[in-house]
Amino acid sequence: MKLKTLTSAIALTLAGGVAQAETGLIVGIQLEPPHLDPTSAAAGAIDQVLYSNVFEGLTRFGPDGSVNPGLAESWEISEDGLTYTFKLRDGVTFHDGTAMDASDVVFSLDRARAEDSANAQKALFGGIESVEAVDPNTVRVTLSAANGSFLFNMAWGDAVIVATESIENIKTDPVGTGAFKFSNWVQGDQIELVRNEDYWGTPASLETATFKFISDPTAAFAAMMAEDVDVFYSYPAPENLPQFEADSRFEVLVGSSEGETILSTNNLMEPFTDVRVRKAVAHAIDRQAIIDGAMFGLGTPIGTHFAPHNPDYVDLTANSQYDPDLARSLLAEAGYADGFTTTLKLPPPSYARRGGEIIASQLRAVGIQTEISNLEWAQWLEQVFRGKDFGLTIVSHTEPFDIGIYARPDYYFQYDNPDFQTLIEDLTAETDPATRSEMIATAQTIISNDYVNGYLFQLAVPTVVKAGVEGIWPDAPTQAIDLTAVSWSK
């Protein structure tokens, strides 16, 4: 430890001209986390700040979305695919000094799958029958049915390992095993992390990492231009990107995300109960106009609820190509020749606010009138997501591989198709890759043919980075801003 400090001091001296080496990084993000427990809320901002920086899981996502070893350095899967034996890394400690061992893993997984668990993604743990500590460094997980995506599930931010000793105050004082320790949270302003000097793996290059919350796009532009922040993740105003690109002080990374942006439709509200009406809506939408008008060209059209960069993606955009005449005749067939009026509730991001105005205009062209209301996130969650009081809304579903939400009839768009539910159940149990691919393709086709929602485009994630910052993930395979490998080049 001492030797290390000495060598780095020498290296610093040798670097000479560099009077002040950059050791901290300030990251701008739009939303502030409601609290700091990734295992008990759906808010993406929690994972953005904490995932793999502060908390780690048994497995973890790599920058390309691959599943890599995390706190488990290796694992064995039994022949029948029912038993996973994880070998944990040696000498891992939580930030409060307590050891991370098998009992913490058992506690974390049991807590997440418990009856009264507040975990936002309980389905991830659904197939677990038992979790037992074989010895302090070995955990055996038994599944009730083989699950081809179990290791993938364990990499989610919702499946991170927490400690029994520090669970009490996790929402305000998160204690994890990651390369950064939580230091301070100035509510409404920023969260500060500091480097964990006792990290088990490669230590972080940054000494401090600060997440600043800037929700207003104009303020985001000003903060970036004034170099008040070093990185702005998921930059909110795509129209400003050419300016950053032209400026040698900055670099723009446009990455793919898991964000399927959809015109979510309340499948239980008249007249959307009629598949012809939903089909008419799908054909009334000109996706390219929305991508150009709302996102200034950033985004890939999608025809189903699946990420185009995934090898199993099926291009079904032709299923709902822009055809207003067809839309009008479908409406007439369904008995709405004179159109109808519905609500269009829009959350704050510009893809929704601007996209909403464009969609309203396109729907009006085929006779569907929309009453637009612009909502804040809290109101949107209350009215739309939980209250299911909406006709149409626009939102981006940023969780990876989330086609399973269509198998939940109580999910806010309320799609209830028993065949699809069976298919997803079978898919979860299937482990053969070829059969899985086939089933995933079928699932995509079913929801596309049922026109459950209007499928718009895959959200691109533009990140503005100050020149000299290296190691920022360009893509967003999960909701994470992983800073463990980020450094300043000098």
Partner 1 sequence: MSTYRNLVFGGLLSGVFICAALISFLWVPYDIEALNIAERMRTPTAAHPLGTDHFGRDILSMVMIGARTSIAVALVAVGIGMGLGVPLGLAAAANKGSILDELIGRGNDLVFAFPSLLIAILITATFGPSAVNAIIAIGIFNIPVFARLTRGSALSLWKREFIMAARVSGKNSLRISVEHILPNLANLLIVQGTIQFSLAILAEAALSYVGLGAQPPTPSWGRMLADSQTMISLAPHLALAPGLAIVFTVLGLNLLGDGLRDIFDPRLRRGRS
Give me the least distance between CB of 358 and partner 1, in Å please.
Answer: 6
| Residues 423-482, interacting with partner 1 (CB under 8 A) | none
- Stretches 112-120, 310-318, 321-329, 362-370: which one binds partner 1 (CB under 8 A)? 362-370
Query: What does the CA dihedral 438, 440, 441, 442 come to, rounded to 10 degrees?
Result: 90
Of 27, 100, 327, 360, which one interacts with partner 1 (CB under 8 A)?
360
Give me the least distance between CB of 288 and partner 1, in Å please.
Answer: 8
Selection from 404, 412, 452, 472 nearest residue 152 by Cα: 404
Q: What Å distances lie between residue 455 and 94, 262, 369, CA to CA?
A: 43, 5, 19
| Token pair listed for 448 | 């596309």
Give me the least distance between CB of 289 and partner 1, in Å please.
Answer: 5
Pattern 373-392, partner 1, x by CB under 8 A: xx------------------
| Token pair listed for 141 | 């997980």
| Residues 274-293, interacting with partner 1 (CB under 8 A) | 289, 292-293
> Quick check: 479 and 52 in contact, CB under 8 A?
no
- Stretches 41-49, 59-67, 356-364, 454-462: which one binds partner 1 (CB under 8 A)? 356-364
Of 167, 358, 381, 446, which one interacts with partner 1 (CB under 8 A)?
358
What's the CA gap between 124 and 56, in Å, rounded? 16
Pattern 164-203, partner 1, x by CB under 8 A: ----------------------------------------
Count the residues in the chain. 490
Q: Tokens 């396109």 identify what position?
A: 362
Give me the least distance between CB of 230 and partner 1, in Å please.
Answer: 21
| 356 near partner 1 (CB under 8 A) | yes
Of 354, 363, 480, 482, which one interacts with partner 1 (CB under 8 A)?
354
| Residues 41-100, interacting with partner 1 (CB under 8 A) | none
Size, binding site for partner 1 by CB under 8 A = 24
Give me the least distance between CB of 442 and partner 1, in Å please.
Answer: 35
| Residues 292-331, interacting with partner 1 (CB under 8 A) | 292-293
What's the CA gap between 375 and 348, in Å, rounded? 7
Give me the least distance between CB of 153 and partner 1, in Å please.
Answer: 38
Give me the least distance between CB of 392 and partner 1, in Å please.
Answer: 14
When computed from its CA atoms, the radius of gyration of the chain, rounded to whole angstroms, is 24
Angle at 379 between CA 378 and CA 384, to 5 degrees: 110
Residue with smaller CB distance to partner 1, 262 or 363? 363
Q: What DSSP letter does each residue of 295-325 carry, written as one string?
A: HTT-SEE-SSSS-TTSTT----GGGG---HH
Q: 205 phi and psi, to 5 degrees?
A: -80, -30
Helix (H) or strand (E) holding 344: strand 340-346
Q: Tokens 């009334």 identify what position?
A: 284
- In the three-class reduction of DSSP (H, G, I as helix; E, B as strand; rest coil), residue 90 is classed as coil
| Residues 202-241, interacting with partner 1 (CB under 8 A) | 217-218, 221, 237, 239-240
What's the CA gap between 286 and 303, in Å, rounded? 12
Interaction site with partner 1 (CB under 8 A)? 217-218, 221, 237, 239-240, 242-243, 289, 292-293, 354, 356-358, 360-362, 364-365, 371-374
